[in-house]
A and B are shown apart, each in its own frame.
Chain A
C-alpha cells in the first residue's frame, strides 16, 4: 500500500510538471542529432576467400528543445528489430532544479559496480545473470558481440521501464537533492514496480574541499541499462532493490589538502548488514616533479580489498606512469601498469604495458591524430608477448564538415582485426542540426 501511494504521488507530480511545461514548449526551435551506424561481421571468422556477412544497424535520434531554462530531450534508438529504446528527459529550474527521465524499453539490466560489471538482474533473462558485461563493452570488444548477447532480450515491445526524478536546491552553498527511482522489473504481461529514494547533500568549502553525503532507501549503488546497453542507454543514478528499506549511507570527501598532500575518502555503510561495506582512501602528493598517488579500498576497517600505488613523472613532452596494483588487497602487487604518453601538436602516442602475475602480459600502442576536420586513431594490442603475440588492431577514421548554418556532418569508418581474421567493419554517419 505504501509503495502504491509513493508511485501514485510520483506519477501525479510528473503529470502536473509535464502539463504545465508543455504549453511553453510548443512551437519552440528544435535541435538534435541523428546517427546511423552499420556493422559488418564475416560469418565465418577465418581465412576464407569468399564469405557471407552478418549485418547489424543502429540509428540514434536525439531531439532537444531549449526554452528559457527548460530543456526537453528525446532519445530514440532503432535497430532491425524496430524501436529498442526511448527516453524523455526534462531538465528545468533556476533556484530549484528538476530533472525527470522516463525510459521505455523492452528490457532492463541491473549491473553491479564491480570490475567485471557483473549482471545482477535481467528482464527478460535468457541466462544473463552472472555474465561480465565489461567483456562486451570495453575497448577490445566487438559491438556485434554485445548485440548478439542482448538480442534475445529486445523482442518485446517498448514498455515503461524506469523513471528517474530528481529535485535539487542550493541553500547557503550546500546542495540538497532527492532522486526518486521507479523501475519496472516485470515482464510485458506482468509488470512489477520497485521504487527507491536517494538523498544527497553536498558542497565545496572555501578551501576547495568537497563533501557529499548520500542516503540510499530502496536503492543501492550500481547502474541500470536498457536496449542494447550502449552508452546512451546507461543510467548511473543507482539501482533499485526489492523492499523499500534503508540500504546504504555514503560519505564522500574530495580534495582535502594537508601539508601539500591531497586526500580523498569514500565511506559506505550498509544498513542491511550494519557494517561498513566499503572504504576508499586516496592520496596524491607532488615531490620533485613527480606525482605520487595511492589508493586503498577496504571492505571494512581492517580488510583491504584493493591497493594501488603509482608514480607519474613528466619528462619533457613525455609522461611516464608506473602503477603497482593488488586487486586482492594483500599488498603483494601482482599487477603492474607501465605507460608512456607523448603529444606533438596534433599527434599523440601512448604505449602501455599491463603485467599480471604469474605470466600475464598485455601491450597496447595507441596513436591519435587530429588534423583540422580529419581524425585518426589506431590501437594495436599484443597479448602474451611484447611485440609478437599480435592480438588486436583497431583503426578509426572520421571526417567532418560544418554548414550550412548550424548543421554539422561527420562520416566515420572503424575496423577491428582480431589475430588472423577481420572482427568487424563499421561505417557510420552523424548529422547535427
Chain B
C-alpha cells in the first residue's frame, strides 16, 4: 500500500514537472481582422515573462508577412517597452527590431484576483493592401536576443504565429 502511494506521488510529480516544456516563455504575435484599405494594430506580446527587459529579432531572425496583403507602417513600444531600432522591408515582407524597457522589466501581474500572464510589448501598425478574404501569417523565424533584468538569456519556446485577415469594410 505504501509503495503504491509512493508510486502515485511519483506519477503526479512526473506529470507536474513534465508541463514545463510546453508552458515556458513564448513570444506571441497577435491576430487581426482588418477592413480592406484600413489600418490596424497587431500586438507582439510575451507570455510567462520572467522579468523580460530586452528583445531583438535580427540580424538572423525576421518577422515575416506577405507584402501583397499588408504593409507595415511602424512599430511602437508599449507597457514600458521602447523600440530602439527597426528595419521595415515592405518589398520583401519582413521586419527586424530591437526593443527594451529602460526603467524596468516586465513580468506577470498577480494581484488582481486573476493575474495577467501575457504582456504586450510592441504594437505594429499595419495597412491592408490585399483584397477581401486574403490573409497573411505573421511569423517570427527566430528571436536573436532575449534577456531578463540582469542580462541573463531567457530560454523560450518557439514563437507563436499571428495572422491578419482582410475583411469587407
Judge whether A130 and B104 touch: CB under 8 Å: no
A215 to B150, CA, bound (A): 47
**7 A-B pairs closest in CB distance:** A360-B117, A385-B20, A138-B111, A384-B48, A386-B16, A354-B115, A356-B117
Number of B residues, CB within 8 Å of A: 41
B residues contacting A by CB (< 8 A) are 13, 16-17, 19-20, 22-26, 28, 47-48, 50-51, 78-80, 102-104, 106-119, 148-150, 152, 157, 160
Since A145-B104, A354-B108, A362-B117 are in contact, a sample of 12 more A-B pairs with Cβ atoms closer than 8 Å, ordered by chain A residue number, is: A135-B79, A149-B103, A308-B114, A335-B115, A359-B22, A383-B108, A384-B48, A385-B20, A386-B16, A386-B19, A386-B20, A387-B16
A residues contacting B by CB (< 8 A) are 44-46, 115-116, 127, 130-132, 134-136, 138-140, 145, 148-149, 308, 323, 325, 327, 335, 337, 354, 356, 358-362, 364, 381, 383-389, 391, 418-419, 421
Contact partners of A139 in chain B: CB under 8 A:
110-111
Contact partners of B24 in chain A: CB under 8 A:
384-385, 389
Q: Look across to chain B and name the residue whose beta carbon is closest to the beta carbon of A149.
A: B103
Which of A115, A134, A149, A383 contacts B50 (CB under 8 A)?
A383
Contact partners of B116 in chain A: CB under 8 A:
115-116, 327, 356
Contact partners of A127 in chain B: CB under 8 A:
102-103
Judge whether B48 and A383 touch: CB under 8 Å: yes
Write the nearest CB–CB distance from A29 to chain B, whole angstroms. Answer: 38
Judge whether A362 and B118 touch: CB under 8 Å: no
7 contacts between A and B (CB under 8 A): A116-B116, A138-B112, A140-B108, A356-B118, A360-B48, A384-B24, A389-B48
Which of A335, A381, A384 contacts B114 (CB under 8 A)?
A335
Which of A46, A381, A418 contacts B110 (CB under 8 A)?
A381
A370 to B52, CA, bound (A): 36
Judge whether B110 and A364 touch: CB under 8 Å: yes
Judge whether B104 and A136 touch: CB under 8 Å: yes
Q: Look across to chain A and name the residue whose beta carbon is closest to the beta carbon of B25.
A: A384
Judge whether A421 and B150 touch: CB under 8 Å: yes
Which of A45, A138, A361 contacts B117 (CB under 8 A)?
A361
Write the nearest CB–CB distance from A119 to chain B, whole angstroms. Answer: 10
Write the nearest CB–CB distance from A59 to chain B, whole angstroms. Answer: 25
Contact partners of A135 in chain B: CB under 8 A:
79-80, 104, 106-107, 109
Write the nearest CB–CB distance from A34 to chain B, whole angstroms. Answer: 27
Judge whether A386 and B17 touch: CB under 8 Å: yes
Write the nearest CB–CB distance from B168 to chain A, whole angstroms. Answer: 20
Contact partners of B16 in chain A: CB under 8 A:
385-388
Write the nearest CB–CB distance from B160 to chain A, whole angstroms. Answer: 6
Residue among B20, B48, B110, B157 with max Cβ neighbours from chain A (10 Å): B110
Judge whether B110 and A337 touch: CB under 8 Å: no
Contact partners of B160 in chain A: CB under 8 A:
358
Judge whether B17 and A130 touch: CB under 8 Å: no
Contact partners of B148 in chain A: CB under 8 A:
419
Judge whether A385 and B19 touch: CB under 8 Å: yes
Write the nearest CB–CB distance from B11 to chain A, whole angstroms. Answer: 14
Q: Look across to chain B and name the residue whose beta carbon is closest to the beta carbon of A363.
A: B16
Q: Look across to chain A and name the residue whose beta carbon is closest to the beta carbon of B16.
A: A386
Write the nearest CB–CB distance from B114 to chain A, whole angstroms. Answer: 5
Contact partners of A385 in chain B: CB under 8 A:
16-17, 19-20, 23-24
Contact partners of B103 in chain A: CB under 8 A:
127, 131, 148-149
A297 to B20, CA, bound (A): 34
Which of B26, B113, B119 contacts A337 (CB under 8 A)?
B113
Contact partners of A325 in chain B: CB under 8 A:
114
Which of B28, B50, B106, B114 contacts A419 (CB under 8 A)?
B50
Judge whether A131 and B23 touch: CB under 8 Å: no
